[in-house]
Amino acid sequence: MASFSIEDFVGDGVLKELLPKLLEEGWDDVPTLKIMNSEDMGAINLTQHQKDALEIRTYLHDRALMQYGDRLEASKKCLPELLNLSTEDLSSQFGMKRGHIARFTDRINPCTEPLPKSYGLTARKITGTPSRNNSIYKNFESINSNKMQNTAKSFTRSSKNNDRTLEESLADFKIKDGYVFKGIVAAGPAEPRACGCIQPPPVVDNVAPHSAIENISVQKLTPAYKIGMERLIKSMTPPMKASELWRDKPAVFLCIRRPGCIMCRAEAHQLYAKKPIFDALGVQIFAVLHEHIESEVKDFWPRYWGGVVIFDQAMGFFKALGGGKLLKDKFLSGFVFNPRAIANYKRAKAMGLDHNFKGEGEIKGGLFIVGRGGTGIAYQFIERNFGDWAPVAEVIEICAQLQNQQQDHGASSKSPQE
């Protein structure tokens, strides 16, 4: 899986000299840089070679083939020309392995689900007429940033193709003083294991109360990644109450079972790849670890996750997922005899990720979406089987609904004179 380090993304090619300008203009992380379109490129005076290089590297990043970035870029061919080369040419000219050639020429199935492409767009303004409920569109009516407008346009277009919606489930969400979200609890299927001889562990049916997580003591291990920053915070930050993290903005908390786990890395990579959408919605994203092994944090950030990483030493978030107690499973019963976990492993393995076996790996993780202030937990996903992921589309839908309701509350609170 391709790294989220922007230095790894640009390699030693023509984009390397642009790093100071990219930082200055706000294109300072890989997911955001990948949504740059032709007008954005023109605004910072990219040469045609640099435009081609960015398109090539974006394509390679989606297919975990960044090791060929410098060689393909040096050919000074554009992406369509490279895709039209024969297998023999790709092998002889660029040293591409046959399995990698198959992945490179597959234009339909990237290793990671990419953000909607913005290449070739000529108009930056949103020209369609989105529905009144399109919260992303409404958010961007007041934002002048070209980068953010492009995210809105791309996501507006892609959301039309999303078959699954949580609109009915979230119709009664209301942001008002004293209101606590109903919340949604989700988990993977509870399939029998070992021909029914082993039953899957039960999971809670009710979302955790806000009180279960608001006073958890956490420490930041990393900042949000940007170009050229230190790899890690040199000294651990003082402990803070978790509720300070969502005091002003909603937040997503991805509770990582083990940062060296191939399935955990795959989930983190998929979620962080959608960072521009979360930025557009005004939602923060955090990864939560219950164990602090510095070498593991260095391997995990920013390669697989470029957001803030926090340390939950008391495992408060993990206990909240289990209704007050840790959800645990054994390797033999939870993985070897569990077809669902094996399928999850194969899915992650197909993404070409590295992994290791360092650290505690039996404590189940999951995901929380927490509303701003004291409004409560809007969504809780439980890792019933090793490697279960919260569906990214579902997470984004919840965040969009939070933003939509927040804006509706803001509008209704204004006086008639305003």
Among 227, 231, 370, which residue's Cα sits nearest to residue 288? 370
Per-residue exposure over 367-400, b if at least 16 CB sit within 10 Å of its own CB, e if not: bbbbbbebbbbbbbbbbbbbbbbbeebbbbbbbb
pLDDT value of position 114: 53
* pLDDT tens per residue, range 237-267: 899 999 999 999 999 999 999 999 999 999 9
Do the beta carbons of residue 64 and residue 351 sit within 8 Å? yes
* pLDDT tens per residue, range 268-308: 999 999 999 999 999 999 999 999 999 999 999 999 999 99
pLDDT value of position 362: 94
* pLDDT tens per residue, range 216-227: 999 999 999 988
Strand order in the sheet with 217-222: 184-187, 377-382, 366-370, 251-256, 284-289, 308-311, 217-222, 240-241
* Residues labelled catalytic: 261, 264
- For residue 154, is pLDDT > 50? no
Q: Whole-angstrom Cα distance, residue 91 to residue 267?
A: 32
Whose tokens are 């391997």? That residue is: 299
pLDDT value of position 418: 53
Q: What is the DSSP string of 179-228?
A: -----EEEE-----BTTTTBPPPP--SSPPPGGGTTT-EEEEEE----TT
Q: Whole-angstrom Cα distance, residue 344 to residue 330?
A: 16
- For residue 415, is pLDDT > 80? no
Q: Whole-angstrom Cα distance, residue 94 to residue 108?
A: 22
Task: Report the half-sphere exposure of 44 (CA within 13 A, side-chain side).
Answer: 23
* pLDDT tens per residue, range 6-19: 999 999 999 999 99
Q: Whole-angstrom Cα distance, residue 255 to residue 321?
A: 9
- Give strand pairing partners of 284: 251
- For residue 121, is pLDDT > 50? no
Among 54, 28, 29, which residue's Cα sits nearest to residue 41? 54
pTM of the model: 0.81
**Residue 312, amino acid:** D
Do the beta carbons of residue 382 and residue 364 sit within 8 Å? yes
pLDDT value of position 44: 93
- For residue 41, is pLDDT > 80? yes
pLDDT cut 90: percent of the chain above it: 62
Please, what is the Cα angle at 222 between 219 and 227, to 5 degrees? 160
pLDDT value of position 199: 77
